[in-house]
Amino acid sequence: MKIHRLHAWDVKIDEARRIQKELVKKLRIEPLKSEVSYIAGADVSYSRTTNTMYAAIVVLHLPQLEIVESTSAIGKANFPYVPGFLSFREAPILLQAFEKLRSSPDVAMFDGQGIAHPLKLGLAVHLGLFLDIPTIGCAKKRLVGEFEEPGNENGAQSLLVHKHEPVGVVLRTKSNVKPVYISPGHKINLEGAVDCTLKTIRGFRLPEPTRQAHLLVNKIRTSSQP
């Protein structure tokens, strides 16, 4: 898969913040331009004893959601964990895994934020710019914004609002379990992000793309550690 290398990753916090402010100017929130047939899920796992990181990408075919391709990568975490700057920590290893894909998925879903981020440049936006494809953030925790708790039934949702602007949807993907936080990344709008997510729910809290990536990356981490 082709990667658009927009900047270096070996940077300090101040430079990372400057990069975020420049990149957000390239962000495009817009309706999907074509039907989604292939959707990728991406996830990262960390060693419990070292600074080793593991990334996995799983590509699924809609509507059946069968797995058609998967890749992985292993590397070191070279950027500290700082809220709001997760992409500078995880994007490099994820891009190594994406680069191994033989084809380009129509959409990619990430375990992280899209525009529901202080500078609208969460992991899904940042990688959407590097991959130049539509991307979705599917986070397990809120980073910014306020919302009313959605109903307890599967499919219930409420708007996530930050600074008087809708930046995502709080979506109940399984009855009586914690919701996930869906926000558009790049080249997709909120309606498209939610619609894609709903098409990939199969009875678990996590949508199938990120769930399968989560299962794969943890399997790789477990098998790689002594």
Mean pLDDT of the chain: 96
Mean pLDDT of 6-22: 96
- Per-residue pLDDT tens digits for 190-214: 999 999 999 999 999 999 999 999 9
- Rounded alpha-carbon distances, angstroms, from residue 80 to 22, 36, 84, 221: 21, 35, 11, 20
Mean pLDDT of 133-141: 97
**In terms of pLDDT, which residue wins out, 223 or 226?**
223
Whether residue 110 is predicted with pLDDT greater than 70 in this model: the reply is yes
Whether residue 185 is predicted with pLDDT greater than 80 in this model: the reply is yes
Whether residue 118 is predicted with pLDDT greater than 70 in this model: the reply is yes
Where do the domains of the chain lie? 13-224
Mean pLDDT of 8-18: 96
Q: Write down the pLDDT at residue 226.
A: 62
Q: Write down the pLDDT at residue 113.
A: 97
DSSP 8-state secondary structure symbol assigned to residue 176: T
How would residue 177 be classed by pLDDT, with cut points 50, 70 and 90? very high
Q: Write down the pLDDT at residue 224.
A: 85
Mean pLDDT of 128-140: 98
Q: Write down the pLDDT at residue 47.
A: 92
Q: Write down the pLDDT at residue 48.
A: 86
- Rounded alpha-carbon distances, angstroms, from residue 209 to 14, 53, 69, 151, 214: 33, 20, 12, 24, 9
Mean pLDDT of 167-187: 97
CATH topology of domain 13-224: archaeoglobus fulgidus dsm 4304 fold (3.30.2170)
Q: Write down the pLDDT at residue 75.
A: 95
**Listing from the earlier edge strand, what are the strands of the sheet with 165-171?**
66-76, 52-61, 38-46, 107-110, 135-139, 180-184, 165-171, 157-162
Mean pLDDT of 158-187: 97
